[in-house]
Structure 1
């Protein structure tokens, strides 16, 4: 493969090193050190929920950042579902990948991704770290789950391609993730180094299929994962492995765009070596843009730059590798959509019809028992809200019907129900004392023993309990009566409409798993 033209690289190695770095920062205003670093050539920034107060504020922030460096990448994790940054205060108005996969209408997926791209372009963002194209083959996966289009590689592939086409039609660059696939894990690489011990043949038949589709659709970037794949490289996680980044992604799959790392402050990347050394190893492996984390400092960047300079001086990291990476980053940034002069915050919120909500609810998985129990009453007596520790990717964004509550005037049956909180430290009181029927709502319930214990206790003494899992349910569906496969605000709206329709109605047949 021929390296891209080194436009704008110049001879300043330090500037090129800075161009490969993508830090984050805390707060809704850019610190002075970020502006100074951008003026010196910093590749850009990665924005998180903590950086977004409003659409107007975000556009003003991004205008300032891009003025400091017109070739800055303004990246954000806007997946259009449970993982949202633009709507971090109120939940995303999109269905999320797992439901899009269950509906299985690539044209709908493309429209949703286009809406995401339009919202990001309107606020000055240039890259979204999406779509998540992992094949979620492990129901106990603590970090992917409903972020995936599903368990079937070919389904994930067609929706990966549709999502890439949709978002990039707006000028915002996509980033298929997490290469070579984070779906077959039961560990979170934010906290540990997960191991995927499968041969390359399995990766080719499963994990790599949606990445190949995303590449064919023209994805501008691909994000690596911090996984150990011992059949490919027994020593280095994927992000730091030349065999995986250069050999598999560049060589076998032929990807020529920007390879961006998942955040290097995650344990899977830097738990052993530290962030500066992880940055060096990622560049050596073939990565171009190094996502550092969500709350970095000026001193931290000094340490990273010094480590990379030392690696170049010692001959461990070829200078041409740094220049090649910086050139790719600049080329990516040069195609960003133009900054708008103003943003209409109301226009960023898509309006969904009743038919659209019904289509989403039609992709829920519903047991006969759930339909019968809901149809036996005209109201919900008690809602048990199960709060678990959110994974770091999702954060503490409002979810499901509880996000809908935050929108003024939104219809919800939560207004008349008694809401009880259930956490690992606050068990339920006497289950018999709760007003019925009882609706239990949580995410990935089967993975949390305290939640399973409480559900078992409720079912033992009551016959009016309905369990709603807004995450990824267990394979045997032993816990969930209703599985929504997502917890975005839009999913919450669809669930509210679904339950309201069945209250005081005749019992209906279960919605089949393959309903579209």
Structure 2
């Protein structure tokens, strides 16, 4: 016996799905016509601008108010530029520059590009305060470690995106910046009193609510004082009492991907996670990236079953679907802005570069890029100085597997420029840099979160606050190596 059509449509109205490949398959289009709130685009859905615009037009033909979302943060998290790296610096670089007006312009430019392609919701900005140097998933996605600065830039980013007619979705409430675990793989814990959250993690969310942000994304993190043993995504104390009650948010509460281990394992699967998130007060449920028609139907069926067995109240689901529809209505009514100058992001990235030490005596270096893994949020996006080098030779090595003497032999009388991300916590990196610098002219380019670590004996320590295409070019220019 099939699902009640009215209840199925109601359930679908709370779901943000996804599909594989550059062309929306029939099932993805059909579900939109049957009431699915919308789809999130990932790198696998993006080949070129004309193709993306055609995909969004196909989805919109099925229903004009479909939500089409994407994670386009700029910096290290980009979907549109996943093949090359973003032409914009990310939040850490913008925070380091400290120009709130520039932050607004950059995000307005990102929004204008999304709007031109028919994308209506940006699952950005990240407004977490990165208070933990070893945070494995936020890092350069954050505007910084100072709540007041992060709040100011967060509000500017939201204003810029929404001026371009794209709904902003600030994330990850109530703050993922103090974690040293990645919620894609496990359930991180932030075990602090509520007063610490109010002083350290929550000011940026208060700022974006005041700035009129249309959506806020939940975090799959455990905050025992508020959430008990479960994640914030399943906590009414967080979503209703804190976000709506204390901070006055009236927009759409969006979940982080329910396929992530921080949610799915805690609930016993994506379907049960959807039910728990709705019951807690979430409105629009991101299923994740690995989605097919069967999974969408399973989640919708779980919601309908929960309406029948008392786990969910119909009024709550109608409220959620209504808020998702309100978000879509806002995006349809929003205006647009003109495209930004093409050099905006590159000019901004240049302003973010910080040089400690001296860059003289580094002519014709051997450039050595130290391999580092990417987070799921980042994906496998190219990074480094390679695309921007004029004549310098470049090697790519694994720090923990590299002999300093071998590198010195390859370099000969040339200086060495070591390029890496999060070098303070990359296995083998600190020892390699120290050993090289003791006997050879060395400069270090840190393209991740810089932390407090500085190697002894290097000629220069260059910080870019991100690894986007724009950051890479800015570093190469600073070193005098750009073509």
Aligned equivalent of 1:488, options 468, 472, 478: 468
How many Å apart are 1:424 and its aligned residue?
Answer: 6.0
How many Å apart are 1:222 and its aligned residue?
Answer: 0.2
How many Å apart are 1:377 and its aligned residue?
Answer: 3.9
How many Å apart are 1:338 and its aligned residue?
Answer: 7.7
Aligned to 2:360: 375
Aligned to 2:449: 472
**2:479 partner SS:** helix
**1:131 partner SS:** coil
Aligned to 2:393: 418
Aligned pairs (5 A) from 1:253-402: 253-272=247-266, 273-337=268-332, 350-352=341-343, 360-368=349-357, 371=358, 374-380=359-365, 382-402=366-386
Aligned to 2:410: 434
Task: Give unmatched runs, 5+ long, in structure 2.
Answer: none
In the alignment, the residues of structure 2 paired with residue 333 and residue 167 of structure 1 have an alpha-carbon distance, to the nearest angstrom, of 15
How many Å apart are 1:363 and its aligned residue?
Answer: 3.1
The answer on whether the counterparts of 2:356 and 2:461 sit within 8 Å (CA) in structure 1 is yes
In the alignment, the residues of structure 1 paired with residue 80 and residue 40 of structure 2 have an alpha-carbon distance, to the nearest angstrom, of 13
In the alignment, the residues of structure 2 paired with residue 358 and residue 332 of structure 1 have an alpha-carbon distance, to the nearest angstrom, of 33
In the alignment, the residues of structure 2 paired with residue 493 and residue 348 of structure 1 have an alpha-carbon distance, to the nearest angstrom, of 22
Aligned equivalent of 1:453, options 421, 431, 434: 431
Matched, 1:193 2:171: no
**2:465 partner SS:** coil
The answer on whether the counterparts of 1:90 and 1:489 sit within 8 Å (CA) in structure 2 is yes
Structure 1's 21 and 502: CA in aligned 2 closer, same or farther, altered over 3 A?
Answer: closer
Aligned pairs (5 A) from 1:203-222: 203-222=197-216
How many Å apart are 1:195 and its aligned residue?
Answer: 0.4
**2:224 partner SS:** coil
In the alignment, the residues of structure 2 paired with residue 339 and residue 423 of structure 1 have an alpha-carbon distance, to the nearest angstrom, of 48
**1:206 partner SS:** helix
**2:196 partner SS:** helix
RMSD, aligned CA:
2.3
Matched, 1:120 2:121: no
Aligned to 2:73: 79
Matched, 1:245 2:239: yes
The answer on whether the counterparts of 1:18 and 1:305 sit within 8 Å (CA) in structure 2 is yes
The answer to which of 420-429 and 27-36 deviates more is 420-429
The answer to which of 53-62 and 302-311 deviates more is 302-311
The answer on whether the counterparts of 1:21 and 1:291 sit within 8 Å (CA) in structure 2 is yes
Once the two structures are superposed, what CA deviation does each residue of 1:4-32 show, in whole Å capped at 9, x if it has no partner? xxxxxxx9221111011111222101122
In the alignment, the residues of structure 2 paired with residue 401 and residue 418 of structure 1 have an alpha-carbon distance, to the nearest angstrom, of 11
Matched, 1:142 2:136: yes
In the alignment, the residues of structure 1 paired with residue 276 and residue 346 of structure 2 have an alpha-carbon distance, to the nearest angstrom, of 47
Structure 1's 221 and 359: CA in aligned 2 closer, same or farther, altered over 3 A?
Answer: closer
Structure 1's 338 and 233: CA in aligned 2 closer, same or farther, altered over 3 A?
Answer: closer
Count of aligned positions: 471
- TM-score scaled by length of structure 1: 0.87
In the alignment, the residues of structure 2 paired with residue 427 and residue 339 of structure 1 have an alpha-carbon distance, to the nearest angstrom, of 54
In the alignment, the residues of structure 1 paired with residue 347 and residue 41 of structure 2 have an alpha-carbon distance, to the nearest angstrom, of 33
